[in-house]
Amino acid sequence: MRKDGDFLFTSESVSEGHPDKVADRISDTVLDAYLAADPEARVACETMVTTNRIILAGEVRGPASVTSEGLIQAARDAVKDIGYDQEGFSWRKADAANYLHAQSADIAVGVDSAGEKDEGAGDQGIMFGYASNETDTLMPAPIYYAHRILHTIRDLRRAGDARVAGLQPDAKSQVTLHYSNGRPVKATSVVISTQHDEGINQAELRERLGGVVREQLPEGWMPEDKEFYVNPTGVFVIGGPDGDCGLTGRKIIVDTYGGAAPHGGGAFSGKDPTKVDRSAAYACRYLAKNVVAAGLADRCTIQLSYAIGVSHPLSVYVDLDETGKDVDEARLGSILRDVMDLTPRGIRKHLRLNRPIYAETSAYGHFGRTPDDARDNFTWERTDLVDALRSALNR
């Protein structure tokens, strides 16, 4: 994504009822079940959902109290909470099978701490984090508004609001913003595709959703009428896993920055926090957000890299995209190592990741969410390193 000049940029979001997000939700529900029973459990759960079928697979290491029957019931409960009780996909009637098996001993020996050996990363890989001051959440504006629109529709649907009457859980949004001098100034198009009951009046639905979208965008940002699209194919009755097979980990750009920043390639859902493609990506976002929140730059990209079985990151890369406020990027990278322990164990302890907090992350983005002190969730969205960063730089 270019960061200056005039241009258009587009991001998309998908709802919790999108087939891939149903799979993500189930995988993270399995993870939460294990972490609730044992904070040190190891989980790498993949889920597939299709017409009235749920399949769990992957590797786990955890207590026997987490049973196959309990996990299948938890999966059904997740589907029920999303809102699926349709002929083609129902939490009541779907066949569910569990093929989770024991974690590889070869992986375990590299990850586990023993004697003088610290806990190693669960895999090799590169992870990125990003923050931009173009929204209050320090997220890129296109993905922020794409998420916001669908999250609002979800909330209205659950509340029984008349504006979304007849809508079902599966939905997608797409927001294109016009940037002027590198800053978003208006939406040039908005697309919403949403599953609905048979026989719904599409023109009426478009009018109702237009009002919802207008409320979620800044004043004056609503695109002209011809650039607001609702169900462009004209009908969207068959949806969810009945209309399209869903798999864990297929919406990694939706989960992160909507294409506005690099992605290391690893998915998040269903993975316990020893897997650095999840926990280190959270740490990268946390550090980048604190850099921007501290006023050190308008934009910040951070990359970490790891090797399987090795505890410390092989590299820490900082890019302020020429927006740094008299900050040397190499020095800042060194400071970030000082203000946060970037070993897998250090990240988990700092962000308190060994807890059943993940089902909520599975839709509407892992980043840009509001931390809740009462539930102690989304800890990587906090800006509690601001003072330490300013102090290290004598600000």
Task: Give the residue numbers of the binding site for L-methionine.
Answer: 59, 103, 244, 275
Q: What's CA 258's distance to the chain center, in Å?
A: 10
Q: Please, where are the H alpha helices in the chain? A: 19-37, 68-82, 105-111, 141-159, 202-216, 240-243, 252-255, 276-293, 329-339, 344-351, 386-392
Q: What gap in Å lies between CA 361 and CA 24, rounded to an integer?
A: 9
Binding site residue list for Mg(2+): 20
Residues 148, 153: Cα–Cα separation, whole Å: 9
Bridge partners (DSSP) listed for residue 85: 90
Taking alpha carbons only, the member of 14, 32, 72 closest to residue 254 is: 14
Please report, in range form, the residues annotated as the binding site for ATP: 18, 170-172, 244, 250-251, 267, 271
In 3D space, the residue among 277, 293, 262, 393 whose CA is nearest the CA of residue 336 turns out to be 393
* Radius of gyration, CA atoms only, the chain: 21
* Binding residue ranges: 18, 20, 46, 59, 103, 170-172, 244, 250-251, 267, 271, 275
Distance CA 111, CA 120 (A): 4
- How far apart are the C-alpha atoms of 240 and 250, rounded to whole Å? 15
Q: How far apart are CA 122 and CA 142, in angstroms?
A: 32
φ, ψ for residue 147, nearest 5 deg = -65, -45
Which class for 92: exposed (0-12), middle (13-18), buried (19 or more C-beta within 10 A)?
exposed
Distance CA 237, CA 311 (A): 49
CA neighbours closer than 13 Å in the CB half-sphere of residue 59? 10
